[in-house]
Amino acid sequence: MTFFDKAREAAERATQGAKQAADQVGQKISDPATQAQARAKAAQAGLQAKRTASAARRGMTTLIEKIDPRLLADLIIKSTALQEKANLALADKGSAYRIGQVEITAAIPPQVSFAIVRIDDVEERITGEAVSSTELVEEAVAEVPEPVLALDGSAGELDRLDEDEPPTEV
């Protein structure tokens, strides 16, 4: 028997084995008990997904409710002050670009993003009374004696450093 004959026989055996496996899978899939079991598993997975989504919504609501509005206001003031300082520096360098938008994401930790825009040759004008964020930052720094590191107004991990007891090991 030649090498090609042996290869052909091996291929035929493999084909027959694959056909048998496919027949067994087809029989198992068409079995009503298997279908009922698959429906039950799918229903369980759907119920678990609903529970998980509900818990995530509750957790997010709780997180948002814990944000201290004064701390969020300070974050906005400091972010816009940085925007104004950067825009002045860009203007001093003769750049045609400015920070046109500040986006603050209430995450842990909070995230601040700046969007860069190209300015037109039209001079910007403020209507009404406006206070510079730089001035507001100076006022806020005078009011807050120490930095706050969490959105709910607590110092977070730094709270444990003030305790007399050493931290417990896990």
Task: Using pLDDT thresholds of 50, 70 and 90, give the confidence band for residue 85.
Answer: very high
Which residues, 6+ apart, have CB-to-CB distance to 72 below 8 Å?
104, 106, 151
- Of 29-33, 120-124, 148-152, 155-159, least confident by mean pLDDT is 155-159
| pLDDT value for 1 | 72
Is the per-residue pLDDT at 90 higher than 80? yes
Which of these, 18, 133, 117, lies nearest to 73 by C-alpha position?
A: 133
| pLDDT value for 151 | 61
Which of these, 162, 53, 160, 66, lies nearest to 110 by C-alpha position?
A: 66
Residues 100 and 122: their CA atoms lie apart, in Å, by 15
- Determine contact, residues 74/140, Cβ cutoff 8 Å: yes
Residues 80, 82, 88, 93, CA torsion sign:
negative
Intra-chain end-to-end CA distance of the chain, in Å: 69
Structural domain spans, the chain = 3-65, 69-162
- Determine contact, residues 149/158, Cβ cutoff 8 Å: yes
Give me the half-sphere count of Cα atoms (radius 13 Å) on the Cβ side of residue 157.
Answer: 2
| pLDDT value for 170 | 45
Give me the half-sphere count of Cα atoms (radius 13 Å) on the Cβ side of residue 73.
Answer: 8
Residues 90 and 95: their CA atoms lie apart, in Å, by 5
Task: Using pLDDT thresholds of 50, 70 and 90, give the confidence band for residue 122.
Answer: low
**pTM score above 0.85:** no
